Amino acid sequence: MLFEKTSAPLRALNLPTPVPGPNQLLMRVHACAVCRTDLHVVDGELTQPKLPLIPGHEIVGAVADLGDGVNRFKVGDRVGVPWLGWTCGECAYCKSGKENLCDHAKFTGYTLDGGYAEYAVADQRFCFPIPKSYSDAEAAPLLCAGLIGYRSLVKAGNGKRLGIYGFGAAAHIVAQVASYQQREIYAFTRPGGDEAKKFAMNLGAVWAGGSNELAPEKLDAAIIFAPAGELVPQALKAVRKGGTVVCGGIHMSDIPAFPYSILWEERSICSVANLTRRDGEEFMALAPKVPVRTEVETFPLEEANEALHRLRAGKIQGAAVLVNALASL
Ligand SMILES: [Zn+2]
Ligand SMILES: [Zn+2]
């Protein structure tokens, strides 16, 4: 499914099967989750995609062929491919354990072709083994919603009372991890989003309300997954002195001006960008222990446009996942 220009639907077409280069593996794609970032790409809010582009960066599949030098996987292994697709290993960020900020990083489904396809190539160094307890479709959302959610949770610190704004794919995973860590989840959903509130409560939230409300208790930290800048001042009002507001998305509408008093008393705001391989290893080890259960709605690959449309409209509960019907053949 090919992205060629903003405001045109993805186009289904047959392309030659890609050939794995040095250090790359070829995978038969079984499932690829649909991330909000994919919407930011096709809607033109992320402005530097390779073109034409195969979107998708939460890929689960089976290794079908190996390029030169591949030693971490063999043909038939099940692997997952995340957003971080390549880093230089040489810049100051790479050398200081912050490869998520690499000056020259390449990103799956953005500056590299991704997983809205039957086959994909990926650099073996950035692929993860998938825990056995997950099906292909269940595992796919772990690769971004899970990983970025996990990185956001770590950034939020160890406080007990955690607010989550935007109860979509990342939140539904983070809530389970946070509950496992004995924290209390306060879920903030679109005003009037009764289904989302119910969903949050079913996943262990102790309170659910509209994003324009305040929780009954001051929060230790809040994570914002919804791409709406007006949530930043809302979240600052919801956290206690010294509390942290983490912006977990790659894109957000402008943050409106707000009085300094809601930031004062050592509250802080930070963002999360990308992931490191270490995040991936930690989260993939943790997920089966919780165990994180992903709620997925599957679509055949050729219905990628419909999946994107439903995500944009806020009509996906949990995560949308594209599946290849013929994958097991
Ligand atoms: Zn680098
Ligand atoms: Zn993503």
- Residues 114-141 pLDDT 10s: 999 999 999 999 999 999 999 999 999 9
Average pLDDT, the chain: 95
> How far is residue 197's CA from residue 262's CA, in Å, rounded to a whole number?
26
- Cα separation of 299 and 281, whole Å? 28
Cα–Cα distance, 188 to 166 (Å, whole number):
6
Q: What percent of the chain has pLDDT over 90?
A: 93
Give the per-residue pLDDT at 208: 95
Per-residue confidence at 326, pLDDT binned at 50, 70, 90? low
**In the block, which residue shows the tokens 């009954």?**
216
pLDDT at 329: 40
List C-alpha distances in Å: 272 to 54, 149, 291: 24, 9, 24
Question: For the whole model, what pTM was predicted?
Answer: 0.93
State the distance from the centre of ligand 2 to the C-alpha of 38, rounded, in angstroms.
7
DSSP state of 180: H
Q: Determine contact, residues 218/196, Cβ cutoff 8 Å.
A: no
pLDDT of residue 7: 84
Residues 6+ apart with CB under 8 A from 263: 236, 269
Q: How much is the average pLDDT of 69-93?
A: 97
Q: What is the pLDDT of residues 234-265, one digit of tens each?
A: 999 999 999 999 999 999 999 999 999 999 99
CB 109 within 8 A of CB 56: yes
Q: From the CA of 150, how far away is ligand 2's center (Å)?
A: 12
From ligand 1's centre to the CA of 252, what distance in Å?
A: 25
Closest CA to 105 of 125, 119, 121, 120: 125
Cα(301) to ligand 1 centroid in Å equals 33
Question: Of 32, 63, 250, 55, whose CA–CA distance to 141 is shortest?
Answer: 32
CA distance 152 to 175: 12
Q: What is the pLDDT of residues 62-76, one digit of tens each?
A: 999 999 999 999 999
- AA identity, residue 45: E
CA of 318 to the centre of ligand 1 (A): 33
